[in-house]
A and B are shown apart, each in its own frame.
Chain A
Amino acid sequence: MTATWTAPRTWATGEVVTESMLNTHVRDNLDWLKAHADARSAVHALGSGEYIVGTRHGKYRIEIKTVGLTSSGDNIYTASGSWDNAFGSSILAVALGVVSTYNASDGGRNNHWIQAMSTTGFTAALGDSGGGNMGCTYYVWGFGRDA
């Protein structure tokens, strides 16, 4: 029998409790709770090639941070950030995503790159040679090892 959940009854003084009420509010609700408690044990560790973002333990880990950067004229600009949790052993790779304002005067001659990365943070860079001003948001993924 599939257990179903029923909002537990509030018992009144002098109330006569029937078989049906006990089965519904005690037996069925306990069955429902046990079924859900048992289901939790079926949650297993991550499979091969799966990584949890932002966790602090484990051999491999991914951190994600966002930093902003604005430019005012042609130059090289940098924006630095810190991982929430330092990598214990090595930073192996960093990926960069950019959401940027755009205007015609800035078109086609701007570059974004990762200038540096360490176990505690990173620096993203903007080379603005388009003549206008830019406002950028950098999404930075760090992949590293804790052991």
Chain B
Amino acid sequence: MGVTYEEIGAPWFEPPAAALMIDEHDMLTITGGYWPDVGGAFVHVEDQQVQLLADDNAVLLAREGEQGQPGAGIVLSDVVLPYGALPVAGGLQIQPHVDLLAWREADGWHVKRLVQEG
């Protein structure tokens, strides 16, 4: 069970991107930085470490973290919760979760990694 990093090019990315890494002990380490939101906005993610448990299958970024809580902004879930924007009649409905940062599949964790290009 390995970890697959799915590189996403971002030529327009000015600030340093947040970087996620999951080691062989399922320890999630986040190097602080920015993550893209809808509408050209960015969400700041703090440095943090989170131990992933057996029933954690998705790592999401909340648009507004719980102040004073360790791991604020990072949400662990056993299922993939709606994130980003959902198409609804007449437009898009913005979800409280900005994005899916990592998820577990049969072959292990898949982690999004922003790579500055261009």
Q: Could you tell me which A residues sit within 8 Å of B by CB distance?
A: 56-57, 78, 80-94, 114-121, 123, 146-147
Contacts and interface: CB of A to CB of B under 8 A. Distances in A.
A88 B13 CA distance: 8
Contacts of A90: 38-40, 85, 92
Contacts of B85: 90-91, 117-118
- The interface residues of chain A, by DSSP majority, are classed as strand
Interface in B68-118: 79-87, 92, 95, 98-100, 103, 110, 112, 114, 117-118
Interface size class for chain B? 20 to 34
A121 B8 contact: yes
B84 A91 contact: yes
Interface of B: 6-13, 36-40, 79-87, 92, 95, 98-100, 103, 110, 112, 114, 117-118
A85 B100 contact: no
Contacts of A118: 36, 38, 83-85, 98-100
A83 B8 contact: yes
A85 B12 CA distance: 10
Contacts of A86: 8-10, 13, 36, 114
Contacts of A92: 92
B117 A120 contact: no
